[in-house]
Amino acid sequence: MSEEMMSEATTLFDNKVIFITGGTGSFGKQCVRTLLTYHRPKKIIVFSRDELKQYEMAQEFPQETLRFFLGDVRDGDRLKLAMRGVDYVIHAAALKHVPAAEYNPTECIKTNIYGASNVIDAALENSVTRVITLSTDKAAGPINLYGATKLASDKLFVAANNITSDCPTRFAVVRYGNVVGSRGSVVPYFQKLVRDRSPEIFITDPRMTRFWITLSQGVDLVLKSFARMQGGEIFVPKIPSMRITDLAEAIAPGIPSKIIGIRPGEKLHEVMCPQDEYHLTLEFSDHYVICPATQFRNIHSFTTNALGESGQPVEEGFQYSSDKNTQWIKAEELLEMLKSKS
């Protein structure tokens, strides 16, 4: 990347108002930390429904730049009010626990689909410049309700570029895999079993593989995607995979494993770029872009992004899956990732 492009990427958030839904979660806190450390935003608005987490986060980040808004993405009117004067939106709020979504489907739909639609409407009404939503590998060829709701959310955000008319708002999606050490991932669960001196480590299936990314890598990807986006892209990072058995051995060496079977809605392997969309997929140096299936306004090509980076079409039948990945995490690399967590 040239110095001019790098400058654009690093100054994009200077003197801007940034709005983060689900801002008290793992991603939101790391994003706030990164923005306050490396950028000069005018204001960061943390929007979430948990007043205790907001209070705790306010103690951790006492900067005057930070604002906290109580609210739920299910409440469209509250979103429209809270998003006034905002330049950029990061939509990180979601119900993410796969088994919980299987047993509480309507709640997951209300937050992940209706909430996504409310974020889009609020952004358009307030003429927000750029909006990025966080997606998941489970949205590619979903077999569980969580993945299905996130696929619907992805489709809503991509299609929102069709209804902007004269509004300056542009929408994009960032999709990645499991986050090392985040709440709800298998890593803290394995660590707890070790702390509790469990005689066994419980593994769903020894063949299972997953994509892994750190929190800081996820945040960096999202922030850089704001500079790269034209509108309508699904950004997918090139990140490593790890086998669940290798993960267990790295965290709990020497402890025998017990196979308990795949949980409701789980896959053996995850996919981030489906084979059925290979004709829409471009490969860049450190990421892929899944282009929208329909053409938007005056955007005729995504092969060169807003930073001037160039991509090439992938081969026919290409699929980016965790079991066929060319990058794999070794035990010592995972332990280094866990030391920093970010």
Angstrom distance (rounded) from CA 266 to CA 221: 26
Angstrom distance (rounded) from CA 250 to CA 244: 10
Q: Report DSSP state, residue 274.
A: -
Angstrom distance (rounded) from CA 147 to CA 300: 30
Contacts of 57 by beta carbon, 8 Å cutoff, 6+ apart: 23, 24, 29, 32, 46, 68
Contacts of 213 by beta carbon, 8 Å cutoff, 6+ apart: 176, 177, 178, 179, 180, 221, 237, 239
List residues with catalytic annotation: 138
Beta carbons of 95 and 112 less than 8 angstroms apart: yes
Name the one residue in this structure whose structure tokens are 């992004």. 305
